[in-house]
Structure 1
Amino acid sequence: MHKFIRKPYYEQFYKSLHDSAENNYKKAIAALNLLQTNVEDIMCGLEIKELEKQLSVIHVSGTKGKGSTCAFCESILRNYGYKTGFFSSPHLVTVRERIRINGCPINREKFSSYFWKIYKQLEQCQDVENDYFKMPSYFMFLTIMALKVFKEENVDVAIIEVGIGGEYDYTNLFSNTAVTGISSLGYDHVKLLGNTIEEITWHKAGIMKPGSITITSEHQPKTSLNILQKRAIEKKCSLYVSTPMNTNDALGNRIELGIKGPAQWHNASLAVQLINAWLNPQDYRTESFEMKSTPSVQLSKEILNGLRTCCWPGRTQIFKFSSELTYYLDGAHTLESIQYCVSWFQENIPHHSLKSKKVLVFNMTGSRNVEDLIKLFIPCNFDFVFFCTNRIQLQDIFSDNQNLKINEPEEYNRIIEYRNYWLKLNKYFNSSNTKVFRNVSEAHMVINNLSVNQQLHVLVTGSLHLVGAFLNLLDPELKLSCSLV
């Protein structure tokens, strides 16, 4: 057992439970939560070769937009009639979102069945130390499980989103990847990937494979393109830069994207090219490893429908909770993505009502310069600014959203620091209008009370985990956000 898992959680897991399907699922979630590790442990480079056979894979890395790019890819392929598998992270409401078949999270019964089959098989191979089993980490376990599910469910294609980096990411198991994509690059996870854009790009390009086709977004720093070129030659991989997609179809009608926001055009363009390369690899095969522009793609009805019907909750999502309360949810967590988020929020809030108030709810995880990010929200002129942990409410080892590796007092002290940053940057801001909350339930209750006599437009951002915690309260089955289950 990992050293940071406290014994009470372990004992709670092994308390007597009835063997109903529901409790079997809860026990699976508890066992999975006990595999949570610090982020550094994701990077050990473990390979599980036997699980990569027979899978046709589209593998996507990047800093910004890799999840949206994968979502567009999956939606388009499904519109073409292919049976799809989709592995992504993190989840928002239920861990089952990470493993999808034809766009839908696998159901509880299947999740439990696959989980325990793999868990027990691995358990038999482990050494026992201090009465605890040494198992793969949370993310690694889910990666193994996803590949097992995709093989057993006979998917035609698996779309795999990288967790962190690429070169040493647990998803980088494949030696015969058909197509790889690299979305927009920037500074993120610098403790793991390096302090320079060159180092970060090197890691992200690690998913390139000999003989595969790699397509990168055109929205890249010049230095990143130079590193990608060097890595393509090193890996003997065909490298293309995605050409921007037209915003109008052949009839002149505006193309509709299911995921809103200006940055999504870059992700949609990349997705269209990745799908075209998977469908028509002969158009991209070349003996040269020099960087080239992608060929033009005719936007078929399947592509247009796939782009329009693509659903990716928690990214530039507007959720009308009541007539007086509207949430704007976006898991932006990098400098550029927060800049996009601010623009999107300002474009979508109404400006005509004197009773309308603006609220920011913010948290940030990881090793980022939070002060630089927080100041980007100043132009929005928020009336209230709240800082909140990512916890929904009290700790519960059987919850899909329990994070056992985060120390609650440390997390709370961190958001107090964020509040201090905000007040330092905004010397004239009314300090009584900024608060810190130990959990999302408390924050939502205060926001709901504030909306009794006035319209509130609430931007929740900075962390996908924070967005997911709010969706757990607002739309626990994601039925209003997206037809996922």
Structure 2
Amino acid sequence: MVISPTVRESEELFPKYFFEVWHALESSASKEGPSYKPPYFRFLTLMSFHAFMQENVDAAIYEVGVGGELDSTNIIDKPAAVAITTLGIDHVQTLGETIDLIAWHKAGILNKGCPAFTTEQGTEAMQVLDQRAEEKGVNLTKVTPGVALHKVALRPNEDFQSKNASLAIKLARAALDKLSVIIDHGDDRLPVQFVEGLENVVWRGRCETKMTGNQHWHMDGAHNEQSLKVACQWFGQITQNSKRARVLFFNQQSTRDAPSLLGSVYRTLYKDFERGFYR
């Protein structure tokens, strides 16, 4: 069962753990007064803790919901490792409208004594991350794609995926070290298990192509100006040699600034597509 692209659970276990947490909250709350349940994302976070503990998982990967400093996932004192991916303007109602405010919140996941990594950032964002890391006594490591990744067939084969893969490698190694798992790798080569994982991963809704009859559907769930620019560049590159008409569908249903987002799409692709639909 897919709750979202990043939250997956089996059809059998999901209702089991859902109602175990639901009834536990109802029972404990009734002792204090009117029954109260946490909002959707916080409930899922709590349920995931319960499910992972019941299943005795070796390692759990958590993606923050919004920001980091005040996020419901940010309650683990000593995670195996943390990482901050490329930052952009997003969730401005909660985090603020400038990149420095957003970076401040994102740096909230940094914990003293916990390995911390980040990919390259803009100057202003990096300054804030470095400052907060210093305040927290954290050694924040800047990660760039290494030579070993050049031989890995990443999907999608884009610059941002190389950056993501570099962070994933650092996180995986930190988690395996925490579990005292030794994976043999020599020189600067990646362990074969890492290569297989990186090449076989399927990232739904990110630079994804589907075939329906003789039609090609290119899909991406980008939802801020920065990621939309990257998604549109990918779309333009992958279809630039096509002799068929290209039609762009743009859908925006949240509280984000739709005109600004559509403007990012237009500025990137205005020379490349013949017809556009906005919903």
> TM-score band (shorter)?
0.7 to 0.9
Instruction: Give 2:220's aligned residue.
Output: 330
Q: Is 1:192 aligned to residue 94 of structure 2? A: yes
- 256, 267, 281: which one aligns with 2:153: 256
Rounded to whole Å, the distance in 1 between the matches of 2:128 and 2:156 is 30
How far apart are residue 347 of structure 1 and its match? 1.4
TM-score by length of 2: 0.87
Instruction: Give 1:143's aligned residue.
Output: 45
Instruction: Give 1:109's aligned residue.
Output: 12
Rounded to whole Å, the distance in 2 between the matches of 1:350 and 1:195 is 35
Higher relative contact order, chain-length normalized (CA < 8 Å, sep 6+): 1
Q: Is 1:125 aligned to residue 28 of structure 2? A: yes
Q: Is the 8 A contact 1:190 1:367 kept in 2?
A: no
Q: 1:196 to 1:376 in 2, by over 3 A?
A: closer
How far apart are residue 127 of structure 1 and its match? 4.8
Q: Deviations over 1:311-370 (max 9, x none)?
A: 1111100001111x22111011111211111111111126353xx221222122444433
Q: 1:380 to 1:123 in 2, by over 3 A?
A: farther
Q: Is 1:348 aligned to residue 238 of structure 2? A: yes
Q: Deviations over 1:134-156 (max 9, x none)?
A: 21111011101111111111111
Instruction: Give 2:118's aligned residue.
Output: 216
Q: Is the 8 A contact 2:144 2:163 kept in 1?
A: no
Rounded to whole Å, the distance in 1 between the matches of 2:176 and 2:265 is 42
Q: Which amino acid letter does the alignment assign opposite residue 258 of structure 2?
A: V
How far apart are residue 195 of structure 1 and its match? 1.9
Q: 1:274 to 1:163 in 2, by over 3 A?
A: same
Q: Which amino acid letter does the alignment assign opposite residue 3 of structure 2?
A: V
Instruction: Give 1:95's aligned residue.
Output: 3
Q: Is the 8 A contact 1:273 1:297 kept in 2?
A: no
Instruction: Give 2:184's aligned residue.
Output: none
Rounded to whole Å, the distance in 1 between the matches of 2:3 and 2:273 is 33
Q: Is the 8 A contact 2:148 2:188 kept in 1?
A: no
How far apart are residue 267 of structure 1 and its match? 0.7
- 238, 247, 258: which one aligns with 2:139: 238
**What count of residue pairs does the alignment treat as equivalent?**
266
Q: Which amino acid letter does the alignment assign opposite residue 336 of structure 1?
A: Q
Q: Deviations over 1:173-229 (max 9, x none)?
A: 1011120100001211112111221111010000111211110112x0112221111
Q: Quote the sequence identity (%).
A: 34
How far apart are residue 133 of structure 1 and its match? 4.2
Instruction: Give 2:181's aligned residue.
Output: none
Instruction: Give 2:212's aligned residue.
Output: 321
Instruction: Give 1:452's aligned residue.
Output: none
Rounded to whole Å, the distance in 1 between the matches of 2:257 and 2:170 is 34
The DSSP-based 3-state class of the residue aligned with 1:373 is helix
Rounded to whole Å, the distance in 1 between the matches of 2:6 and 2:133 is 29
Q: Which amino acid letter does the alignment assign opposite residue 219 of structure 2?
A: L
Rounded to whole Å, the distance in 1 between the matches of 2:207 and 2:2 is 19
Instruction: Give 1:15's aligned residue.
Output: none
Instruction: Give 2:200's aligned residue.
Output: 309
Instruction: Give 2:106's aligned residue.
Output: 204
Q: 1:204 to 1:301 in 2, by over 3 A?
A: same
Gaps of 5+ in 2: 179-186
The DSSP-based 3-state class of the residue aligned with 1:361 is strand
The DSSP-based 3-state class of the residue aligned with 2:15 is helix
Q: Deviations over 1:88-143 (max 9, x none)?
A: xxxxx8317654xxxxx322121111111111111112359xxx842111101110
Larger Rg: 1
Q: Is 1:160 aligned to residue 62 of structure 2? A: yes
The DSSP-based 3-state class of the residue aligned with 1:157 is coil
Q: Which amino acid letter does the alignment assign opposite residue 251 of structure 2?
A: N
The DSSP-based 3-state class of the residue aligned with 1:126 is helix
Q: 1:233 to 1:140 in 2, by over 3 A?
A: same
Q: Which amino acid letter does the alignment assign opposite residue 320 of structure 1?
A: M
Instruction: Give 1:374's aligned residue.
Output: 262
The DSSP-based 3-state class of the residue aligned with 2:159 is coil
Q: 1:125 to 1:247 in 2, by over 3 A?
A: same
Q: 1:208 to 1:248 in 2, by over 3 A?
A: closer
| Runs of 4+ residues deviating >6 angstroms | none
Q: Which amino acid letter does the alignment assign opposite residue 265 of structure 2?
A: F
Instruction: Give 2:182's aligned residue.
Output: none
Gaps of 5+ in 1: 1-92, 100-104, 282-295, 389-485
The DSSP-based 3-state class of the residue aligned with 2:62 is strand
Rounded to whole Å, the distance in 2 between the matches of 1:142 and 1:308 is 30
Q: 1:247 to 1:358 in 2, by over 3 A?
A: farther
Rounded to whole Å, the distance in 2 between the matches of 1:164 and 1:327 is 30
Q: Which amino acid letter does the alignment assign opposite residue 159 of structure 2?
A: P
